[in-house]
Amino acid sequence: MANIVIGVTGSIAAYKAVDLTSKLIQNGHEVKVVLTDNALEFITPLAFQAIGRNHVYTDTFKEEDPSVISHINIGEWADLIIVAPVSANTISKLANGIYDNMLLNVLAANTKPVLLAPAMNVHMYEQPAVQRNMKLLLDEGYQILDAESGFLACGYNAKGRMANVPDILGYIEDFLSGRENAPLEGQKVVITAGPTREALDPIRYLTNHSSGKMGYSLAEGFKSLGAEVVLVSGPVKLAPPEGVRVVDVVSTEEMFEAVRQHMDADIGVFAAAVSDYTPVSFSEGKMKKTDETDNLVIELKKTQDILKYAGHNNEGMYVVGFAAETDDVKNYALKKLKDKKADCIIMNDVSNPAIGMNSDDNEVTLLFRDGSEKHLEKASKPALSRKIIQELLEHTGRER
Ligand code: PMT
């Protein structure tokens, strides 16, 4: 059984939050309720206190228990926070980092999953600012149980009504039982990330500017959906994602050997910036500058193409490659899709320093083998990874 916080904001649907509290208590959960001042215009704390048998919080500065700071303690206590109903006002404040009441302070200090159930007039719901702010919150990892169409208190028959209580309850129970969160349970995903280093001598090597952020974000995204993730990583300065098996490699050859050990994966995502060439010979001692040689020529040979190997030698792996291009991006990406026998190529323009290699953000287009494509607007790599994974799952048919 879980610890659940219900936040209630100013909407006529606030009365439904009493029913939700009651149903959660009946299901054996413990519930704490936080009301905004606007919610108090519609409903009293006593209604929730009588049902939940817990203190109801309304004011950041009214500390009943001196041993804790309530707006921090509540989030630490919770397994899940639900804001139902959430008004246009609270959505917009939350999306813009305005924390001027108890509920918003609880959310500011919170690290637990949050479910938002909007309720408002249809025109408020359709406001570009409200839509934009909901999108921002989705990108930041908030879950939104979309409003329904139906009779609204303002007299319209339109979209804006809070999702009904059984649906919210079903969503919560699904979430708590892990079903909602683990659609990839039992699936194995192998991911390559970061650069490779091709050694010239004991102290010098050929490499590139890949930071590994894209591949690591994808690893976290797949892990959060319940997949078993093997992350084959070139040398990067990132912390290993929790619960992910990281295989550290340096050269393309090592990366290839590591991937070959995991060809049984259901999904392979090749986000590493792999060196296409490696020195023909390795100098055991430090290469010396000589008086005779002004222009040094280093002979290189092709490396093993890991993505191509996976595309041509898999037994059912869904193979996803990246295409890092600076010009004629789509044509090169389409050629890679075909030559490497990938199921999907994710193309990014690495000539733009604001996205792609060694930046926090990226903007990509997914090209699928069936000819379809999907552009995903610029977003942080973690947020973009969630969207990439969603698109991939829709194509692999693994979506719940
Ligand atoms: O690491 P970040 O700083 O976050 O940057 C992310 C990224 C720009 C590196 C990433 O989004 C990306 O585009 N990765 C692929 C980079 C690349 O090497 O692209 P490519 O077009 O040269 O190669 C095409 C595909 O073949 C890639 O999936 C690559 O991993 C794979 N490849 C290439 C050569 C090789 N020998 N083996 C491979 O597997």
Let me know whether 24 and 146 are in one domain.
yes
| Helix, strand, coil percent content, the chain, rounded in steps of 5 | 35, 25, 40
pLDDT at 398 over 80: no
- Report the alpha-carbon distance of residue 138 to residue 312 in Å, rounded: 37
Among candidate residues 129, 154, 298, 354, the one labeled active-site is 154
pLDDT at 256 over 80: yes
Using the atom order of ligand 1, give the atom closest to the CA of residue 209. Answer: 3
pLDDT in tens, 126-145: 999 999 999 999 888 899 98
Per-residue pLDDT, 48: 96
DSSP 215-279: HHHHHHHHHHTT-EEEEEE-S-S-PPPTT-EEEE--SHHHHHHHHHTTTT-SEEEE--B--SEEE
Q: Name the residue at shortest CA distance from atom 1 of ligand 1.
A: 212
**% of residues, the chain, pLDDT over 70:** 98
Q: Name the residue at shortest CA distance from atom 14 of ligand 1.
A: 271
Per-residue pLDDT, 229: 97
Domain extent at residue 319: 183-396
Let me know whether 342 and 301 are in one domain.
yes
pLDDT at 179 over 70: no
Write down the residue that tokens 């869904």 correspond to: 318
Task: Give the mean pLDDT of 178-195.
Answer: 88
Task: Give the mean pLDDT of 313-341.
Answer: 95
Q: Name the residue at shortest CA distance from atom 18 of ligand 1.
A: 273
Let me know whether 138 and 105 are in one domain.
yes
Let me know whether 135 and 249 are in one domain.
no
Let me know whether 194 and 296 are in one domain.
yes
Per-residue pLDDT, 80: 94
pLDDT confidence band for 399 (50 / 70 / 90): very low
Annotated catalytic, 154?
yes
276 belongs to an annotated ligand binding site: yes
Rounded distance from Cα 322 to ligand 1 centre (Å): 5
Total Cβ atoms within 10 A of residue 100: 11
Task: Give the mean pLDDT of 254-263.
Answer: 98
Rounded distance from Cα 324 to ligand 1 centre (Å): 6
Per-residue pLDDT, 400: 34
Q: Which of 308, 315, 283 is nearest to 298 (CA)?
A: 283
Rounded distance from Cα 348 to ligand 1 centre (Å): 10
pLDDT in tens, 48-94: 999 988 889 999 999 888 888 999 999 999 999 999 999 999 999 99
Residue 250 sits in a domain of what CATH number? 3.40.50.10300
288 belongs to an annotated ligand binding site: no
pLDDT in tens, 329-387: 999 999 999 999 999 999 998 888 899 899 999 999 999 999 999 999 888 898 889 88
Q: Name the residue at shortest CA distance from atom 37 of ligand 1.
A: 305
Let me know whether 131 and 250 are in one domain.
no
322 belongs to an annotated ligand binding site: yes
Using the atom order of ligand 1, give the atom closest to the CA of residue 252. Answer: 36
Per-residue pLDDT, 17: 97
Per-residue pLDDT, 152: 78
> Within 13 A of 378's CA, how many CA atoms are on the CB side?
10
The whole model's pTM is what? 0.66
Rounded distance from Cα 225 to ligand 1 centre (Å): 24
Let me know whether 43 and 123 are in one domain.
yes
Mean predicted lDDT score pLDDT of the chain: 93
Write down the residue that tokens 């704490």 correspond to: 32
Question: Residues with Cβ within 6 A of ligand 1?
Answer: 192, 194, 210-214, 252, 270-274, 276, 303, 305-307, 321-324, 336, 348, 350, 356-358
Under DSSP, is residue 58 helix (H, G, I), strand (E, B) or coil? Answer: coil
Residue 95 sits in a domain of what CATH number? 3.40.50.1950
Whole-Å CA distances, 217 to 8, 62, 111, 324, 336: 33, 40, 18, 17, 23
Using the atom order of ligand 1, give the atom closest to the CA of residue 359. Answer: 3
Let me know whether 131 and 213 are in one domain.
no
User: Which of 178, 202, 228 is the last residue in one of the domains?
Assistant: 178
Let me know whether 88 and 122 are in one domain.
yes
Q: Give the range among 113-122, 156-165, 289-298, 384-393 with minimum mean pLDDT.
A: 156-165
Let me know whether 173 and 194 are in one domain.
no
Pocket test for ligand 1, best of 322, 327, 365 (most atoms within 8 A of CB): 322
- Counting the structural domains of the chain, the total is 2
User: Which of 141, 162, 178 is the last residue in one of the domains?
Assistant: 178
User: Which of 121, 152, 178 is the last residue in one of the domains?
Assistant: 178
Pocket test for ligand 1, best of 214, 274, 359 (most atoms within 8 A of CB): 274
Using the atom order of ligand 1, give the atom closest to the CA of residue 333. Answer: 21
Rounded distance from Cα 137 to ligand 1 centre (Å): 30
Let me know whether 250 and 108 are in one domain.
no
Q: Name the residue at shortest CA distance from atom 24 of ligand 1.
A: 323
Rounded distance from Cα 273 to ligand 1 centre (Å): 4
pLDDT at 157 over 90: no
Let me know whether 49 and 132 are in one domain.
yes
Using the atom order of ligand 1, give the atom closest to the CA of residue 356. Answer: 8
